Amino acid sequence: MGKISGRCMCHAVTWQYDGTVTRNLVCHCTDCQRATSAPFTAFIGLNPEQVHWSGEINHLESSPNTWRGFCPACGTRLYFKSGKWPDEIHVHAATLDNAENYKPSAQVVMRSRAHWLDDLADIPQHQNFQTDPKIK
């Protein structure tokens, strides 16, 4: 990937990286589902010593020796770090400045995959919400 960078939704936290990507995956585990309120999470594995963060990050120990970082201002999930992989930090791919270029190379913990994902291609697709929001 070369030099990559990213940010939270409100721009209060940014990150930069210039190094080898160690993982490039989509995780379907129930911990990721609950932590992100989403059916899966896309990660890029990076060397934590080469990620340069700017801004304040809140760190939550979600289970023993497992940490999740997020922006305290907007709540954007930024990373997952675990003692299981001490030489990696898994940064959320959705925080990439060029997230449209992200392509995962693997899916993991398929036993927890939300089965309704199989039907997405058959569900009607729209560029916007089907109805305009009601303004009071």
Domain positions in the chain are 3-114
Contact status, residue 62 vs residue 31, Cβ threshold 8 Å: yes
pLDDT at 1 (0 to 100): 54
Contact status, residue 53 vs residue 61, Cβ threshold 8 Å: no
Top CATH class of 3-114 equals mainly beta
Please write the tens of the pLDDT for every residue from 20-36: 999 999 999 898 888 88
Report the predicted TM-score, pTM, of the whole model to 2 decimal places.
0.85
pLDDT for residue 128 is more than 90: no
Q: Which two tokens stand for residue 32?
A: 């990721």
**Could you tell me which of 111, 39, 114, 47 has the C-alpha nearest to residue 79?**
47
pLDDT for residue 105 is more than 90: yes
Average pLDDT taken over every residue of the chain: 92
> Quick one: average pLDDT of 80-102?
94
> Comparing 6-15, 29-38, 125-134, which segment has the lowest mean pLDDT?
125-134
Of the pLDDT bands very low, low, confident and very high (cuts 50, 70, 90), residue 126 is confident
The one-letter code for the residue type at 12 is A
| More confident of the two residues 132 and 22 | 22
pLDDT at 50 (0 to 100): 96
